[in-house]
Structure 1
């Protein structure tokens, strides 16, 4: 069993809250390994809960959409945003912020290359493997803030999947989405098989 959301793109403009939540059999699409032991009930598991997020496009014609995938720690730089209520979860380490575990050293990175990825109809789509942790910036490394990982507990959360119909900006490292659409899917931790999927249905 996996958590799945599906809707026609033409309806997205009128969707207000988390929509299209269901659990259905994965079939051939469920080829990712189940992250849970076969004999484990929810009460026997402890966080973190690794989860695989998948965004797919199905269409009755050849079609390509686009997603941002250059910075998983950023909501603007990635097609997947996770929320706990109204709070965005930093699902990945931000290399522009000091890692508390490395103090007193504080090595940071520069701006990432803003390059879009293709989402092609009829393929396996794009996926993000989340390790089940959020990164918080409650600490300090000298005069700089620092971040550290924290396991996200069991509960109900929301995943926002976003994509665009075209490329904007300038290639290769200053691209942006054109015609952006998003859809929200509620999911629980731990998920039944560790997979949360959203299908953009253009027919077919």
Structure 2
């Protein structure tokens, strides 16, 4: 059928045949390279191309991971939003080191990021919150994210309380809710190839603030 999206299997075959990531073809900076790959993932119709695995750890080094949606990226780094009192929010407040993984499996690509998370400005949080659907705004007030609840009824009660509180009026961003910016120290671009001899090129921030490129063994 005209306009039908290619199947994941056909995309895998295509990228296996021509997939390569060579130093001579790499963009001059990680942001330009990420934009090229991200745009291609969007154009190919991958589901949730902005989904990323965010890994954090407690001060004692106990790790945790979850999938979060990337909301913005620029030369500063990668931005997502959450409840600051959630598990990831609490862990990043106590131990700001984080890693991100963009798992674009159908096209045999990954982007892996390590860096330090910092809170975005309140103005940036409020601007993004105002753009969210009303239901999502109410949810930010209704849910004590990551807290233990007795049952589903507690979730519904929280939503009802938020609806009663705000009625049909505007909903401000909660003080306990906002954005994190992950400032990268490394950004690795992983391209799958046959025989598991994949290409792995990594941008590494150097001591003077510039970036070096390293090739990693597959």
TM bucket (normalised to shorter chain) is under 0.3
More helix as a share of residues: 2
Structure with the greater alpha carbon radius of gyration: 2
More strand as a share of residues: 1
Tell which has more relative contact order, 1 or 2 (C-alpha 8 A, sep 6+): 1
TM-score by length of 1: 0.23
